[in-house]
Amino acid sequence: MLEQFDKAFESRIRLQIMSVLAANESYDFSSLKELLEVTDGNLASHLKALEKEAYIAVNKSFVGRKPNTRYVATEDGIEAFKRHLKSLEKLIKQQK
Amino acid sequence: MLEQFDKAFESRIRLQIMSVLAANESYDFSSLKELLEVTDGNLASHLKALEKEAYIAVNKSFVGRKPNTRYVATEDGIEAFKRHLKSLEKLIKQQK
């Protein structure tokens, strides 16, 4: 039962981050923060958790002199996310 | 985005408990523990969290001299669970 459920996506914020990164080539910290309506600290800690799983990767660069931190979903991350959604889908179907 | 996501169901265990109680009239502690393969303490703390939200109710009785603790989903709980699943369903559809 829910064998494929991935603890990394247990949190709503991490589920949303992954959803955004699966649908976009990359996303920067500020836009992500705005979209998800979370604090810097909260977002940073969830991003770090996903990075630790190697589900997302960080891309640090400069736009002019301004630092620009962008996040991308890794192939592993996308695969894990899809498995997780399948497990949720199964749960939903059981309820119908 | 994920407005209907319910923090009470963020944990896999709570999601599973609710899924079981939505599908069964009631369920006792030991069977739930066996089904979800969790420890007493872990299960108890998740049940307490759902009880606090009034999503489940506890039914204590005796079978002979043996105490029998059964859990039932409340109407509010079922409603909240359905809303939560709808929000997950939306997320899944966005990914397709």
Q: How confident is the prediction along chain B (96 residues), in pLDDT tens digits per residue?
A: 677 788 899 888 999 999 999 999 999 999 999 999 999 999 999 999 999 999 999 999 888 998 889 999 999 999 999 999 998 988 888 877
Euclidean distance between CA atoms B45 and B50, whole angstroms = 9
pLDDT surpasses 90 at A24? yes
Higher pLDDT, B66 or A73: A73
- Considering the domain A7-91 in this protein, what is its CATH number? 1.10.10.10
Taking CB atoms and an 8 Å cutoff, what residues of chain B touch A96? none
Rounded CA-CA distance A75/A55 in Å is 8
Chain B contacts to A (CB-CB under 8 A): 1-2, 5, 7, 10-12, 15-16, 19, 22-23, 35-36, 81-82, 85, 88-89, 91-92, 94-95
CA–CA separation, A48 vs A57, rounded Å? Answer: 10
Where is B76: in which H helix or E strand? helix B75-94
> Do the Cβ atoms of B85 and A94 come within 8 Å?
no
Residue A90: count of CB within 10 angstroms of its CB? 14
Residue A75 is encoded by which pair of tokens? Answer: 């192939």
Task: Note whether A22 contacts B95, CB cutoff 8 Å.
Answer: yes
**pLDDT value, residue A27:** 96
Contacts of B23 in chain A (CB under 8 A): 94-95
What value does the mean pLDDT take over residues A9-30? 93
For residue B67, the distance in angstroms to the closest alpha carbon of chain A comes to: 28
Contact list in A for residue B2 (CB cut-off 8 A) is: 12, 15-16
pLDDT at A26 > cutoff 80: yes
